[in-house]
Amino acid sequence: MAKDSTKHLTSKLLPKKNLEQFLDALLKQYDVIAPVEQNGFSRYQKITRGTECCLKYRLPRNSIKEFFLPQDETLFFFEPGAASLSDAPSAKREPIIFPVRPCDVRALTILDAVFDDEQFSDSYYVEKRRRMRLIGMACLEPDDTCFCETFDINSTDGTGCDLFLTEVEDSYIIDVLTTKGKTLIKTLADAPQELIQKKKQQVAARRKSQSLKLAEVQNFLKQCFESELWEEMAAKCLSCGACAFLCPTCHCFDITDDVAGKIGRRLRSWDCCMFPKFTLHASGHNPRTKHAQRLRQRIMHKFSYFPENKSLIACVGCGRCVVACPVNLDIREILSTLASSTHPASP
Amino acid sequence: MELENQIEHELRERAQQLLAENVVDLIIGYGRGTLPNRVTPVFIRKPQDANMLVWNNHCQLNLVSYLQRMQSSSKIGIVVKGCDARSLVGLIKEKQISRDRLHIIGIVCDGILDTRATGEPPIPYASCQHCEVNVPPLYDILIGSPDEIKPKKPSELDAELAAFEALSPAERWKALEQEFSRCIRCYACRNACPLCYCEECFVDQTQPKWISEGTHPSDIMIYHLVRALHSAGRCGECGACERACPMGIKLRLLTQKVSRDVAELFQDKPGIDLERPPALHTFSTDDDNSTFL
């Protein structure tokens, strides 16, 4: 995505007590996607009132990728047997996501590299990306499961957002980063210098998240395709898709035709390399029947193949998979096991 | 020494002995997790590794779901709670694993704490609060004392489930639709369930294709309803499906409702009696026929 040339226009002040009112004002004109409280976690979904927004949890359980690459996306409709196609209707109101954390913003650049590079541009993705407004929020304190520092993500930097909020005392300082962002905060007052200074101090004093040693991992991955470690690490993996479906960067999809009576639709839906069916060939052959082969694929794709092809690591250290894995198969532990492995099996 | 630590201590000792004496060549148990209040499955093959085993009130996984993968081990030791043992009895009855290959390490369990609940003090999972199978119905070794468990009072009946039952069919459908609207089709529930062992699940079949990909509500509903009906009369009510769900869907409403129906209609509690055939695998002229159309 092209960067907006308007770099940091100004700083505005939003007292926390006015947050609901601020969201209600946005809702008059935009679709607002915000975290909503569930049973012990929050989930990004469209809200209808500012009061629904819940900021109790740092990261919602789902990532924002579903608003750019929906789990269930109609590419077009068709009539079976007839030569007629029609476009799926697009949403009328422009959407806003509030709040987006810097790890999730980085994840979007990874999706951009897949769906909007020099060679291929996916019109469905690009259109959603173009319409979306992102209101970011700084993380001054990481969660125990955060490891974004591993990927040099500055959790207080708003690059990629239209507006960026930093919590200072009982207010948010809003940095206006794009002209698109500027239209959202017309009624807000400028932030007082005193609080802007305070924000700078807080940003400088932010507590950084865990940083894992990735150089060793990537070095090891180049020579460990046949290592016995994969079997060991995957022994407890259930091969469900919780990790991949909650991951903000996992982007594999399937395309199928879905026909009901006279209406057919071409459907793009999420797929997942942890499922045995993911690699099932029409012949019946399956090159990845084992849990270990599938876990290896997921790790290799993120930390070896994707960096080779796109010069980006396809993980942002959000820790969603760490929290949600039903058997506590922790990707941080996988990475440290790989990093500390000095004797890879020969290929 | 606290009760839990006593159990853990004895568990490690017995496990070490079983491996050292070659009674088993593998023990599947719980080990320390990477997060507070979480445990993780461990697969122990050497006596000196037995001290990796842990027991505490966060041992929420049903390890029975790993048994069928362990084809290379001739004799397996497995750590089970009462509910886990019920699914193990089910697997033996359905001839998915031979009793002779197992050395069952049963643990007396007073309930597992709900990691999702935010209140203080921590409360057990709903499926544990109403559990009456604190002692595994089948074991080779039993660790812990049944006398330490407080018996449940009738007043402790599952209020949430009772409220769900009291709804009209249309309201119940609506409540399920609401729950399943969060489903992301990751199949963690299915994969965590020891009794979901079909080599090819109907949702993965492409010829014929029973349901579409994507998240159409009717496809999601079909998946959950078929899974619930397929486990009717077999489900050991361990709650592993609900605990595995990353989206916090109350799968229990469906699975335990079906279990309660089976108990009422056929006076059967699956997974308790190794000799009794599963209720829906047999037919008797005395069966309640009121549900036949």
The tally of domains found in chain B comes to 2
Examine the fold and report which residue of B133, B153, B173 is the final residue of a domain before the chain moves on.
B153
Q: Is residue A150 part of a domain?
A: yes
Question: pLDDT tens-digit profile of A128-164?
Answer: 999 999 999 999 999 999 999 999 999 999 999 999 9
Question: pLDDT tens-digit profile of A314-334?
Answer: 999 999 999 999 999 999 999
pLDDT, greater one: B118 or A233: A233
Given this model, what pLDDT does residue B115 score?
80
The minimal CB distance from A326 to the residues B117, B184, B188 is found for: B188
Same domain, B7 and B140: yes
Domain containing B19 equals 3-153
Question: pLDDT tens-digit profile of A59-94?
Answer: 999 999 999 999 999 999 999 888 888 888 878 899
Q: Is residue A243 part of a domain?
A: yes
The minimal CB distance from A277 to the residues B182, B191, B204 is found for: B204
Given this model, what pLDDT does residue A5 score?
45
Examine the fold and report which residue of A204, A235, A251 is the final residue of a domain before the chain moves on.
A204
Among chain A residues, CA nearest to B242: A326
* Residue of A61, A212, A240 to mutate when probing chain B, most B C-beta within 10 A: A240
Percent of chain A with pLDDT over 70: 96
Chain B residues closer than 8 Å to A327 by CB? 40-41, 61, 192
Whether B184 sits inside 8 A of A256 (CB atoms) is: no
Length of chain A: 347
Whether B34 sits inside 8 A of A333 (CB atoms) is: yes
Three-state secondary structure along chain A? CCCCCCCCCEEEEEEHHHHHHHHHHHHCCCEEEEEEECCCCEEEEECCCHHHECCCCCCCCCCHHHHCCCCEEEEEEECCCCCCEEECCCCCCCEEEEEECHHHHHHHHHHHHHHECCCCECHHHHHHHHHCEEEEECCCCCCCCCCHHHHCCCCCCCCCCCEEEEEECCEEEEEECCHHHHCCCCCCCECCHHHHHHHHHHHHCCCCCCCCCHHHHHHHHCCCCCCCHHHHHHCCCCCCCHHHHHCCCCCCEEEEEEEECCEEEEEEEECCCCCHHHHCCCCCCCCCCCHHHHHHHHHHHHHHHHHHHHCCCCCCCCCHHHHHCCCCCCHHHHHHHHHCCCCCCCC
Among chain B residues, CA nearest to A70: B214
**Residue A261, phi-psi category: left (phi > 0), alpha (psi -120 to 50), beta (remainder):** left
Q: Is residue B61 part of a domain?
A: yes
pLDDT, greater one: B288 or A302: A302
- Measured CA to CA in angstroms, residue B55 lies from A183, B141, B143, B193 at distances of 57, 15, 11, 21
Cβ atoms of A135 and A99 within 8 Å: the answer is yes
Average pLDDT, chain A: 92
Query: Residue A343 above 70 pLDDT?
Result: no
Task: Round to whole Å and give the CA distance between B277 and B200.
Answer: 24
Given this model, what pLDDT does residue A346 score?
45
Same domain, A171 and A255: no
Own/partner long-range contacts of A287-290 (Cβ < 8 Å, ≥24 apart): A290/A231, A290/A234
A-B contacts (CB, under 8 Å): 115
Average pLDDT, chain B: 91
Chain A residues closer than 8 Å to B117 by CB? 40
Low-confidence ranges of chain B (pLDDT < 70): 1-2, 118, 152-157, 293
Q: Taking residues A33-53, what's their average pLDDT?
A: 96
CB within 8 Å of chain B, chain A residues 159-198 = none
Q: Beta B26-32 vs B76-80: how paired, if at all?
A: parallel
Given this model, what pLDDT does residue B290 score?
77
Q: Is residue A345 part of a domain?
A: no
Given this model, what pLDDT does residue B25 score?
95
Q: Is residue B288 part of a domain?
A: no
Given this model, what pLDDT does residue B153 score?
65
The tally of domains found in chain A comes to 2
Q: Taking residues A105-120, what's their average pLDDT?
A: 96
Examine the fold and report which residue of B89, B118, B153 is the final residue of a domain before the chain moves on.
B153
Whether A236 sits inside 8 A of B215 (CB atoms) is: no
Given this model, what pLDDT does residue A9 score?
63
pLDDT, greater one: B118 or A226: A226
pLDDT, greater one: A20 or A91: A20
Q: Does residue A330 belong to the interface with chain B, where contact is any CB pair within 8 Å?
A: yes
Percent of chain A with pLDDT over 90: 82
User: Residue A38 contacts by C-beta under 8 Å, 6 or more apart in sequence?
Assistant: A61, B182, B247, B248
Examine the fold and report which residue of A157, A180, A204 is the final residue of a domain before the chain moves on.
A204
End-to-end Cα spacing for chain A: 40
Given this model, what pLDDT does residue B286 score?
82
Query: Residue A204 above 90 pLDDT?
Result: yes
Q: Taking residues A241-248, what's their average pLDDT?
A: 98
Task: Round to whole Å and give the CA distance between B203 and B187.
Answer: 10
Query: Residue A347 above 60 pLDDT?
Result: no
Q: Does residue A61 belong to the interface with chain B, where contact is any CB pair within 8 Å?
A: yes
